[in-house]
Chain A
Amino acid sequence: MSTVRGIFARLEIDERLLGMILCLVGIWIGFHLLSDGRFITPRNLYNLSLQTASVAIMAIGMVLIIIIRQIDLSVGSMLGVTAMIVGVVQTFWLPQILGGGHPMIMVIAVVCGITIGAALGGLNGLMIGYLGVPSFVVTLGGLLIWRGCAWWVTQGQTVAPLDENFTLLGGGVYGTIGETASWICAILAAIVIAFAAHRRRRRHISFGFPVRPAWAEIAVVAAQCALPLGFAAVMNAYEMPAVAAQKLAEIKGWDIPEGGIHIFMGIPIPVLILVALAISVSLLLNKTRFGRYVFAMGGNLEAAERAGINVKRMTVWVFILMGALVGISAIVASARLQSAGNSIGQLDELRVIAAAVIGGCTLAGGAGTISGAILGAVVIQSLQSGMSLLGYDASLQNIFTGLVLVLAVYIDRLYQQRRPG
């Protein structure tokens, strides 16, 4: 055990993250065996990644909220009202002005979604930061208010069908970037990872700081590069259903060879959106003053204030960011369902908070990672997807997910106690 720990120490890997990855692998293998080999398949993993995207995008924002020792219970309802408005705008309003199927409909709808989300988040932030109402109360109110508003937008009617370009953002049958682009993205990602690691190492050496041994550095970078490459390989192994492929070829005017056309899906667009957001917000959180102040506020609000940080304004910005991410999530979720109903996003706030907490955010504030929260979202979605694959209904899925949440936090607590600091 001590030598294993020694190797990890040399690798400087976050043991917690590694533990979670192992946990996830365990869950996947378990479901794979129980479902007679139906879980770890390109098709199921493709769907899993789609189902995870919406919650994971919101979990990114929830990490920052929890780090500054706040909470946002209103994200699911905010998603609902935003999706409804965006649905109405693109289905009822814009086609009358621009004509149905106009390419700008999607663009305007997206801008609309992000703006509405950011505005609702900003409203939360103002009340919490400047009026001093506790975030639990403000967002509990928001949970009720925005869900009610979601109903009022159309008096409860579901808005469908959504704009065709818009639904691509949900990653349906055609909502991927295709085989070649997937490989290009993955290879570019690997190059960036390797280059960044090299640069960081050189800079540390130039300042005379300790660095990992070369073998450890290479092992870590290789593992990090394997992630995008492996993901692209799996997504590229999922073949588009024959009917859909046929139709796509007809639309694009491709020649259909003998024996039918074979098209592989590649990385779905919502996952690409998720990855882009995760990287951007991680940079914001770990490499900028803004992120440093977010952590400082969670660690010691008074110290942050004395250091000259405008904590009220920071609070508003963190909630605006959360809202904007909710807006994007509303776009992805409604695009995936190809409709907007007033119950969309219901209970998402709990999944989002659970993802962040399983991913290592402590509600006491000051700690949390975006990669952990996304992993947490994958864990939750894996449980739900795996159980529905096995034929368990929603009530059992909820019971099991709840148990896992409590268990995960308990195990983490034991771990923290064993290793103080």
Chain B
Amino acid sequence: MATPLVEMRNISISFGGVRAVDDVSIDLYPGEVVGLLGHNGAGKSTLIKILSGAYQADKGEILIDGKVADIKSSRDARDHRIETIYQNLALADNLDACANLFLGREITSAGLLDEPAMEAAARKVIGRLNPNFKKYHAPVSALSGGQRQSVAIARAVHFDARILIMDEPTAALGVQETKMVAELIQQLKREGIGIFLISHDLHDVFDLSDRLSVMKNGKLVGTVRTEDVTKDDVLGMIILGKQPGAAAA
């Protein structure tokens, strides 16, 4: 297979003597979705924060496109085109979709905001991801959960993310909304973007992921192909930390 988009090799990090992440290696290929599973406190969020630049590993290395990447801050991560979509979406509720899309990176001309230019760009990128999206001028507080996800994802995509980290992307959504996000993720995969889905709930990510990496107590239990395993196999990995016999990938 081709070079992985991301390889995190033998990553370890400790906080005050506690090994939050202990010698974990995971990888991600272009156009692939990898679900990162584990209980709260299993170390999955800490691991992914090392990739997004919030923490720095004590040991191990990160390779982007096969080259060692030194990610020291969220700015460095952004320079490597890594974008994170947080669980609470990090949208300003009182601003509309365009304003949120460009928050912190507004287009200006002669020092003033160029609203029409931003709106045109927003319509292009959101329309591509979610053709049904219409409410460009409503504050995002008036949008449904799925529409808000569309805005958050469009924000990452518009700024050329190649590696997307999504923290519990469907946790608070209804059935229809979850379907909408699933379609968004399919669309992103077709565009060759690699996605890490982080969740403590297997059902949220099982159908969306190509592979699943399971963590427990800071260690990697194993990585499996979703098509090779059942949900029960994976539950066993999450709860008991045991590798399903033949299914290891």
Contacts and interface: CB of A to CB of B under 8 A. Distances in A.
Interface of A: 203-204, 206-207, 209, 283, 287-289, 292, 295-296, 298-300, 302-304, 306-309, 366-367, 420-421
A299 B90 contact: no
Smallest CB-CB A-B distances: 7 pairs = A299-B92, A307-B104, A421-B142, A366-B94, A299-B94, A303-B90, A307-B103
A288 B104 contact: no
B86 interface: yes
Given A298-B94, A307-B103, A421 B112 contact: no
Given A207-B120, A302-B88, A421-B139, A292 B106 contact: yes
Max chain A Cβ within 10 angstroms of own Cβ: one of B94, B99, B111: B94
A296 B113 CA distance: 14
B91 interface: yes
Contacts of A283: 112
Contact of B91 (A206, A303, A366, A420): A303
Contacts of B91: 300, 303
A300 B104 contact: no
Contact of B112 (A206, A287, A299, A307): A287
A22 to B, nearest CB: 25
A304 B116 contact: no
A289 B111 CA distance: 8
A306 B86 contact: yes
26 contacts: A203-B116, A207-B120, A288-B113, A292-B103, A292-B113, A295-B99, A296-B92, A296-B99, A296-B103, A298-B94, A299-B94, A299-B95, A300-B91, A300-B92, A302-B88, A303-B92, A303-B103, A304-B92, A306-B86, A307-B104, A308-B75, A309-B104, A366-B92, A366-B93, A367-B94, A421-B142
The interface size bin for chain B is: 20 to 34
A203 to B, nearest CB: 5
Contacts of A309: 103-104
A304 B103 contact: yes
Given A307-B105, A308-B104, 11 more contacts: A204-B116, A209-B116, A283-B112, A287-B113, A295-B95, A295-B99, A296-B103, A303-B100, A306-B90, A308-B105, A421-B142
Nearest to A420: B142
B100 to A, nearest CB: 8
Nearest to A208: B120
Contacts of A300: 90-93
B230 interface: no
A330 B117 CA distance: 41
Nearest to A364: B94
B97 to A, nearest CB: 13
Nearest to A204: B116
